[in-house]
Amino acid sequence: MKFVIGLAILLAIGSCASFLEEQQPMENKIYKIKLERTEFQAKKSLFDFITTSQQYRNSEDFLDGSDLAMTQTKQKESIKLYNFKNTQYTGEIGLGGQDNKFKVIFDTGSANIWLNSARCNDYGCKNHKQYDGSKSSTYEHLGYDLDVEFGTGELMGEINADTAYVGGVKIAKQEFAEIVRENGDVFAQSDFDGIVGLAYPSMAAYNFNPLFDNIMSQKLLDRNVFSFYFSRQEGSRSSELTFGGWDTDHFQGELHFHNVVNKYYWLLEADNILVNGQDLGLCKHGCKVVADTGTSLLTGPSDDLYDLLDTLNIDENCKNARDLPKLTFVLDGINYDLDANDYVMKIDSQGNEIAYDTFASVDSFVEMGGNCQCVGSFMPLDIPSPQGPAWILGDTFLSKFYSVYDRDNDRVGFARAK
């Protein structure tokens, strides 16, 4: 199975509301970043790393640094994302020079920037593009260590700063973590060079500003909003991250907003989770959900998730694909429906995903021969009390629903993606 899981969710509950969004000002400039859809074989080491809390320690001296030149720009931008077999969406960020680009996952489930350092000689680093601060005139040595230990390895890095470029936006003194040692193969098989966190600053190492918070503090946008459109077309470059607003060409119908109930992750409160309109007790008295672009699948508390899988009863030979029920997340009275073609993956004999919705009909999906199997796009993930439990709305959900992240008003908006 091919999947990517975002960082572990440590959450708190609160109140939320939904309402229709007013039209954004026509004069508001929008920046767009194209995203690429990609796939890789996730290993247990990656799952362990991203579901492990990060522990930080200060380093007295680790690198030599040079002065950082102050820079500034303004307004908004869109980044194109590339999609590779429905699994992950990557875009480009420049660091230390506009042409010094890295392929990254823009992740609303984390807050730090991670890139491989040129000083790292481990295979997971050498197998990707590496950042070299000695070649940047705007590099600044800060000297804060990140040491993340997990069940199958250890990742060691150092936080420093440089000028970042995202689409047409130039961000001065952006803190980021250089990976200097990788024990294990946490990133060895990944198709990306790093991760750019877009969660709240309370989650970031040493309280440094995440990328979007530096954009906010440097007043580079008219509106402190970003949004994601995830195309389901394999190999497509139509997916997009937009800074400064949203693009009405990418969704249809009304855009409904829901208030963030904890300013750490993009945490919302759901009224219920229904299967064919029936309440199965998956969301007793309301439950927490997180909009997480760094997670491919839907995750849920293990007991509830296994109950859901038992109810869905997805036949591994795809024989009941046409009869599978509708799964609905209810937020502030708004129903967000996922059909079988949204939450079922077909896996070939090589372990590669075949997207359900690329077939002409359910029958063609069911009747496809070969050594294939159908699996649900779900993963159990238990978040301990008092922060959990919570469900993660990963790309399985976010590819069906256009998502808007509004830091001016601390809310998340969803609309049916085109």
Residues noted as catalytic: 107, 292
**CB–CB of 46/187 below 8 Å?**
yes
**CB–CB of 404/398 below 8 Å?**
no
- The CA distance from 286 to 14, in Å, is 11
Question: What's the angle, vertex CA 309, arms to CA 304 and CA 310, rounded to 5?
Answer: 95
- The CA distance from 20 to 22, in Å, is 7
Q: How far is CA 356 from CA 123, 226, 274, 376, in A?
A: 35, 29, 22, 11
Strand partners, 409: none
**CB–CB of 177/113 below 8 Å?**
yes
216: left (phi over 0), alpha (psi -120 to 50) or beta: alpha
Strand partners, 225: 406
| Parallel/antiparallel/unpaired status of strands 298-300 and 378-380 | parallel
Please name which of 295, 260, 269, 290 lies closest in space to residue 407, comparing C-alpha atoms. Answer: 260
Please name which of 208, 209, 53 lies closest in space to residue 144, comparing C-alpha atoms. Answer: 208
**In what helix (H) or strand (E) does residue 3 lie, and over which residues does it extend?**
none
- The CA distance from 28 to 49, in Å, is 39
310 CB neighbour count, 10 Å cutoff: 9
